[in-house]
Amino acid sequence: MVAYMNEEALKLTIETGVATYYSRSRKKLWKKGEQSGHIQKVEQILVDCDQDCLVLKVSVDAGQCHVGYDSCFYRAVKKGEPEKLEFIAEKTYDPEEAYGNKG
Amino acid sequence: MVAYMNEEALKLTIETGVATYYSRSRKKLWKKGEQSGHIQKVEQILVDCDQDCLVLKVSVDAGQCHVGYDSCFYRAVKKGEPEKLEFIAEKTYDPEEAYGNKG
């Protein structure tokens, strides 16, 4: 998945070992999994050459994409038919159950 | 590495099989490797759930990061000393040679 962090999100991620991002649309910190329960345990934080991007290596229990896959990148541009996408992964959890009304 | 594409960059990338990006600072298309020779041959293009991010799986000859590594993510936040970065990769080419004055 791809998400944004601000300074506080990065600080919390390092301190707690659980990935926390900054939601630009909601303008607030966003602990991934706070609704679905699918938190990301951070194993390693990689930093890029010009220090404006990070790669978080994480472990998740069931999955993390809100659609139900391990990865948000569950589709690929089809070779020879680039206007089509093909599914390259299987769902690992039921998003209805994770995000639905829990009473 | 992380870079941006516009519609034309994506179209060219699909048509040619060679990664082309859009430089927001230079406001122009940017074929990765046009200066260094380290082009990216695209093997697969993955699309994320809300279709605003792509992962390009590419093959490169020597490397692609302008600092001389295979990946721009050649450093990691050090565990227990998060204010420090540790190197986790070896250089795969000499950036001076690739980007220096070639006459």
Tell if the CB–CB gap between A73 and B55 is shorter than 8 Å.
yes
Q: What local confidence, expressed as pLDDT, does residue A102 receive?
A: 45
Tell if the CB–CB gap between A47 and B82 is shorter than 8 Å.
no
A84 to A38, A77, B1, B20, B36: CA distances (angstroms)? 30, 6, 25, 20, 33
**Angstroms from B102 CA to nearest CA on chain A:** 24
Which of these, A40, A87, A77, A75, lies nearest to A59 by C-alpha position? A40
Tell if the CB–CB gap between B49 and A72 is shorter than 8 Å.
yes
- B103, pLDDT greater than 90: no
Task: For chain A, list the strands marked E by DSSP.
Answer: 20-23, 28-31, 41-47, 54-59, 75-78, 81-87
Q: What local confidence, expressed as pLDDT, does residue B48 receive?
A: 97
**Angstroms from A75 CA to nearest CA on chain B:** 5
Condensed to tens digits (0 to 9), the pLDDT of residues A56-78 reads: 999 988 888 989 999 999 999 99
Residues of chain A with pLDDT under 50: 102-103
B10 to B42, B46, B62, B72: CA distances (angstroms)? 11, 12, 24, 21
Q: What is the three-class DSSP state of B73?
A: coil
What string of DSSP letters covers A9-32? Answer: HHHHHHHHSB-EEEETTTTEEEET
Contacts for A30 with CB less than 8 Å, ≥ 6 apart: A3, A9, A20, A21, A22, A23
Contacts for A100 with CB less than 8 Å, ≥ 6 apart: none
Tell if the CB–CB gap between B49 and A55 is shorter than 8 Å.
no
**Angstroms from B46 CA to nearest CA on chain A:** 4
Q: Give the C-alpha separation, A53 to B61, whole Å.
A: 24
pTM for this predicted structure: 0.89
- B101, pLDDT greater than 60: no
Condensed to tens digits (0 to 9), the pLDDT of residues B6-32 reads: 999 999 999 999 999 999 999 999 999
Closest CB from B46, B65, B66 relative to A75:
B46
Condensed to tens digits (0 to 9), the pLDDT of residues B35-80 reads: 888 899 999 999 999 999 999 999 988 888 989 999 999 999 999 9
**B93 interfaces chain A, CB cutoff of 8 Å:** no
B contacts of A14 (beta carbons < 8 Å): 77, 82
